Amino acid sequence: MSPRNPTWQLPLRLTAGAYVLDSGLQKWDPDEDTAGQLHGLATGTYPFLGAVRPVTFTRALAAAEVVLGAALLVPVVPAGLAGLGLLGFGAGLLGLYARTPGMRRPGTPFPTRDGVALAKDSWLVGIGAALVAGDRR
């Protein structure tokens, strides 16, 4: 399949877009406990987020995920633009993985049992990078 034929992008955009959109919708109306847990995890890695209320942070995260997921699913959004958003979002998630104690086996980039859920976000970075690299017109 030619790189100029965007059909190769469809599985990547559909998979990542549906996942990210669903994740945002699940966070859309957070309870205090859920918001506190998400905010606590985020502020451990990104301390500047401590100035934001947990529910406000979680709603903003949900809105960002809904917008990003929709951008991936709607074909009129250029793949490079949607991929750049996904690349940034995935990199932020990998920052959580890299900087949260107990997520990686000592001295390696490989996850502990607890770190697998965050390490899996590396596929978002890979898809984002593929969409950016493959959107040369």
pLDDT confidence of residue 3? 53
Q: Using one digit for the tens of pLDDT, what is the confidence trace for 4-14? A: 677 899 999 99
Rounded Cα distance between 8 and 1, Å, is 7
Q: Using one digit for the tens of pLDDT, what is the confidence trace for 52-103? A: 999 999 999 999 999 999 999 998 999 999 999 999 999 999 999 999 999 9
Q: Using one digit for the tens of pLDDT, what is the confidence trace for 93-129? A: 999 999 999 999 999 999 999 999 889 889 999 999 9
Q: Using one digit for the tens of pLDDT, what is the confidence trace for 13-53? A: 999 999 999 999 999 999 999 999 999 999 999 999 999 99
Radius of gyration of the chain (CA): 16
Q: Which CA distances in Å does 123 have to 9, 13, 34, 86, 92?
A: 14, 12, 25, 10, 13
Sequence letter at residue 115: G
pTM, whole model, 2 decimals? 0.88
Q: What is the mean pLDDT of the chain?
A: 92
**Residue (of 4, 2, 6) closest to 75 by Cα position:** 6
Q: Where are the beta strands (DSSP E) in 39-86?
A: none
Rounded Cα distance between 37 and 55, Å, is 10
73 within 8 A of 117, measured Cβ to Cβ: no
